[in-house]
Chain A
Amino acid sequence: MRPKASRLLPVGVAAMLATLVAVFYYPVGSVLSSAIYAGGRLTVDPLVAVLGDPFYTGAAHSLVTDPASVPGGVVGWIDAGMPRVEFGLFGFTAYQALLSTVVSVAVGLPGAYLLARFEFPGRAFLRSVTILPFVMPSILVAVGFLAMFGYTGVVNDLLGLVGLGPLELVGTLKVIILAHAFYNAPLVTRLVTAAWESVDTRRVETARTLGASPLQAFRDVTLPQLVPAVLTSAVLTFIFTFMSFPIVLALGGLELATVEVWLFSRVQNLALAEAATLGAIETALSLGLIYVYLRFEATQISAHGEGRTRARTPLFVGWRSLVDPRRVGLLAYSLVAGVLFVGPLASLVIESLTTPDGAFTLDYYAFLIAQQASAAVGTVQPLAAITNSLLFGVGALLLALPMGVLVSVVATRESRGSRLAEALLTAPLAVSGIVLGLGMLRTLVFGTTAFGHRLTITGPVVIVAVHAVAAYPFVTRNVTPALSGIDDRLVDAARSLGASRSTALVDIELPLIVPALVAGAAFAFAISIGEFDSTVLLAEGVDSATMPVALERYTANRSLGPNLGPATAMGTVLLAVTIVSFVFIDRAGRRWER
């Protein structure tokens, strides 16, 4: 609406789109196109090869290879008393995602009830900690679970003290699903708590005065506002766990492989064509799921309602707390949740400080610092991994911050811009890190021909670019609400006082969104520090390995020692960096909420 909008904006948007094309759309497009384009012509052969392979689609493969046999096959199956059917790799991936979603919702919902309806010391802290999994590297969580449930892990150590065990838990679906719940239950809790807190107490009170019992008022007023949040978080959890990679890789290996893990192993075996087809199918599935998610999200009632939040009930009311079944239930839940969420992280730290015999040691940390001159060729250097992570993190932050702010400015300044921004923000979510990493390998790393020159970009530059693409949506998600929360008239007032549009942006708008910028920057840094999926493919050489890559290598390569020592020590360092980022996000975020 304002006249003479800055000419810098179109230039910035063009630069950003060019960057995205180079490091996102072109690489990803090259992967997707190879699924339908081979030997210079369009073809369905690669898709048919994958979808018609019982290994991938199980019993459903005949839908592709021999559709005519399907009705007969179904009849035969019913005649045989409906025995267990295998649905192959895709079926298993969906199955574990579904189980993970059910468990995450089951663990997350009581947490939302606790946080939204009860007051107790540390409630605000717990509520803000639910953001932590967003920034916690999943390979770190996987190593935490190994430290807790592994053969020499904390659980088996404790069982050993009472003469039981040891149990072989790693490599079972149970541990994978628990690790997924660790990741996604806080997401459920967070979204549902926000929806619950946005329920206007006056609506509940009105229902009560009209004759509804507390239960009826909950059913008629509160529940309809919670259901969209539960569905949204469930769909999001399903998407995340369907595309889960490091947790399944570290805790399940190839025996419990999901599509993403198998895709990774195809790339490692240099079966790039098959990997690309697999990636295309996976991307199509995740786009479909994200469409469902966006539909659900649209039905969400805004959490920033005008209404008053209902007063919370004290959780602890003296000894009576122990006879109230509701409170006893919540306390029991808190114990279970405490073990699930604190256990793996505590185990990580404990294992990093103890020898397999249980004695205290700092050897693993010494290993991190020592120059590994004598280490075998191909071993990731720990100190280099730490510096790489920090450097890439800063690089990604410097790239992601302007990108994210630019998208926010476009989204808030023009009505058309918000749709474009939404599309720009959602695309990276739909494409798995493996697919992006594979695309980068196929294009920039192996080289591409443009304008008659052969371009090859490798190493740190590619990794930083990939991290920035993964991170900038988080900058935007922090900055957009802050920017759109600024009253337009502040800018109007500044301009009538003589400030140009860009001066007003610098003088007025930017200072007011500093907290959001800090939170967004910390997010970007944390995303970069934790990024594993693309990095593990792109950091093939040991020189540009990062902390998460080193973690995975140390976990997989037991030649370094009989236990997880080096991995847990590295994991503890990564955990510390993550927590520092989280503190920044939390502090800055809360300053804005006030």
Chain B
Amino acid sequence: MTTTDGNSKGADNTAVEITELGVDFGSVTALADVSLSIDDGEFFTLVGPSGCGKTTLLRSIAGLETPSRGSVSLGGQDVTDEPPEERNVGIVFQDYSLFPHLSVAENVAYGLQFHDLSESRDTEARVTELLELVDLAGFSDREPGQLSGGQKQRVALARALAPEPDVLLLDEPLSALDAQLRKELRVQIKTIQRDLGITTVYVTHDQAEALAISDRIAVMRNGRLQQVDTPETVYRQPASRAVAEFIGDNNVFEGNVADDGRHLDVGGTLVPLPEGGNRAAGQSRTVSIRPEALSVTDGQRADAPTLSARVETVEFLGDAYRVHCRWNDRSIVVKTAATTPPEGAVDLQFDAEDVHILEPQRSGSTRSNSVRQGGPSANQ
């Protein structure tokens, strides 16, 4: 279990290598044999609903969880049996976890006593440098109790970065903050990460946050990886129904391929399928179409596929309306930039290319590069 996987990329640019890692809590499997590799300098996000195993995976990388199976390598070194203090990772938790009996500067300096700094800088200079990095210059002597939530989280970030960790681990760092602050701080984290070029593993349950800041995303569910890819690919080409429904708003329909092999029969209405790929008539298929790919029209584009629907509820979003419609006894959501809310009977038009065919279950990892699914039933 301690040998590095032979199939992994070269140790030169792989910062984190997870090989068939499993974590059991009693009879509950929190993490089911996950394999994953994260590149040097990459901003990698683990996203999924609560209880999906993302925090367990993060804590396993930090050495705060004892794996039941598999291995963790950092920078080509197998660290599976190393305690957290031997791994040179920095971690930031949701509720800040600042040491309440130490000042801001003492918090940031805490990790420095255990590390030899790469350059000959004294502790004080390093603390000042980091507090400037997180825009908290002059806060050295404050007590954690005197800080706001956003300030506490920036101190926690500075504390984690101070000993120059190889990997930065962020466990829902923004979840305790209000919406506006969350957006500001997320930009700041992204900027700092890019400037330092530090490998970062970020855990969140907020799919919008994951899309916004990541180089790559791993969507998790029930202790397994569902899809690992760039935000764009995960959004546009979800690997499974679960991913399609978790990432962003989506409309998902099931039907059977019509006799021509180019349409899907959804409750009696023929929905055109995109080009490419043979589809045998009668096969059961699931498709998704994004709300913004649908437009509310009076049927102007005669050539475009059209769904006749009825408006039920309209939400005003500021820059658009989200329109909840009824079509063929199904719910369908449309996002439209119209200046007035649509009502009554409407035609919903789209391009066949915007229809995405979700791969049938048990399809393996065709869409994920560098992912090896642990078990055959990865998508349940």
Give A residues with C-beta under 8 Å from B: 1-4, 487, 489-490, 492-501, 503, 507-508, 511-512
Contact = CB atoms under 8 A, between A and B. Distances in A.
A500 B85 contact: yes
A312 B81 CA distance: 56
B163 interface: yes
Given A1-B66, A508-B99, A511-B101, A493 B93 contact: yes
Nearest to A489: B97
A504 to B, nearest CB: 9
A496 B83 CA distance: 9
A435 B288 CA distance: 78
Contact of A497 (B59, B65, B101, B111): B111
B91 A493 contact: yes
A493 B81 CA distance: 18
Contact of A498 (B65, B100, B163): B163
With a 10 A CB-CB cut-off, give which of A3, A492, A493, A495 has the most chain B CB atoms: A493
A403 B64 CA distance: 28
A499 B95 contact: no
Given A493-B97, A511-B101, A3 B159 contact: no
A496 B89 contact: yes
Contact of B83 (A487, A490, A501, A507): A501
B139 interface: no
Given A3-B63, A497-B111, A498-B115, A492 B93 contact: yes
Interface string B111-144: 1011100000000000000000000000000000
Contacts of B59: 492
A487 B156 CA distance: 15
A496 B95 contact: no
A495 B83 contact: yes
A498 B101 contact: no
B85 A496 contact: yes
Contact of B111 (A2, A487, A498, A512): A498
Contact of A493 (B63, B159, B165): B159
Nearest to A496: B91
Contact of A492 (B91, B115, B163): B91
Contact of A496 (B90, B101, B113): B90
Contacts of B332: none
With a 10 A CB-CB cut-off, give which of B63, B97, B156, B169 has the most chain A CB atoms: B97
B252 to A, nearest CB: 37
Contact of A494 (B88, B110, B115, B169): B110
5 contacts: A494-B99, A496-B87, A499-B114, A501-B83, A508-B99
A133 to B, nearest CB: 33
B95 A497 contact: no
Contacts of A489: 93, 95, 97
B160 interface: yes
A492 B163 CA distance: 15
Interface in B7-55: none
Contact of B64 (A495, A498, A503, A507): A495
Interface in B54-112: 59, 62-66, 81, 83-85, 87-91, 93, 95, 97, 99-101, 110-111
Interface in B132-173: 156, 159-160, 162-163, 165, 169
Contacts of A507: 99, 110
Contacts of A496: 62-64, 84-85, 87, 89-91, 160, 165, 169
A487 B144 CA distance: 15
Contact of B163 (A497, A503, A511): A497
B216 to A, nearest CB: 23
A495 B85 contact: yes
With a 10 A CB-CB cut-off, give which of B65, B85, B88, B169 has the most chain A CB atoms: B85
Interface on chain B toward A: helix, strand, loop, or mixed SS? loop
Nearest to B165: A496
With a 10 A CB-CB cut-off, give which of A487, A497, A499, A500 has the most chain B CB atoms: A497
Contacts of A503: 85
A490 B97 contact: yes
Interface on chain A toward B: helix, strand, loop, or mixed SS? helix
Contacts of B90: 496-497
A497 B114 contact: yes
A3 B62 CA distance: 11
A508 B144 CA distance: 14
A511 B162 CA distance: 23
Nearest to B114: A498
Contacts of A3: 63, 66, 81, 83
B64 A512 contact: no
With a 10 A CB-CB cut-off, give which of A4, A494, A498 has the most chain B CB atoms: A498
A506 B66 CA distance: 23
A487 B95 contact: yes
A281 to B, nearest CB: 43
Nearest to B62: A496
B159 A497 contact: yes
A497 B110 CA distance: 7
Nearest to B86: A498
A59 to B, nearest CB: 55
Contacts of B160: 493, 496-497
Given A489-B93, A493-B159, A512 B101 contact: yes
B225 to A, nearest CB: 23
Nearest to B111: A497
Given A3-B63, A496-B64, 9 more contacts: A3-B66, A492-B91, A493-B93, A493-B99, A494-B110, A495-B64, A495-B84, A498-B113, A499-B110
A1 B83 contact: no
B65 to A, nearest CB: 7
Given A498-B85, A498-B163, A499-B85, A512 B65 contact: no
Nearest to A498: B114
Contacts of A487: 95, 97
B152 to A, nearest CB: 12
A490 B84 CA distance: 13
A4 to B, nearest CB: 5
Nearest to A492: B64
A503 B111 CA distance: 12
A512 B100 contact: yes
Contacts of A1: 65-66
Nearest to A511: B101
A506 to B, nearest CB: 12
A487 B163 CA distance: 22
Interface in B286-327: none
Nearest to A493: B97
A1 B59 CA distance: 11
Nearest to B109: A497
Contacts of A492: 59, 62, 64, 84, 91, 93, 97
A494 B90 CA distance: 10
With a 10 A CB-CB cut-off, give which of A2, A487, A495, A508 has the most chain B CB atoms: A495
Contacts of B89: 496
Contacts of A4: 83
B141 to A, nearest CB: 18
A2 B64 contact: yes
A1 B100 CA distance: 24
A499 B100 CA distance: 17
A11 to B, nearest CB: 19
- What 8 A-B pairs have minimum CB-CB distances, sorted nearest first? A498-B114, A497-B111, A495-B84, A489-B97, A496-B91, A489-B93, A493-B97, A4-B83
A512 B144 CA distance: 14
A541 to B, nearest CB: 47
Nearest to B101: A511
B263 to A, nearest CB: 54
Contacts of A511: 101
B131 to A, nearest CB: 16
B147 to A, nearest CB: 16
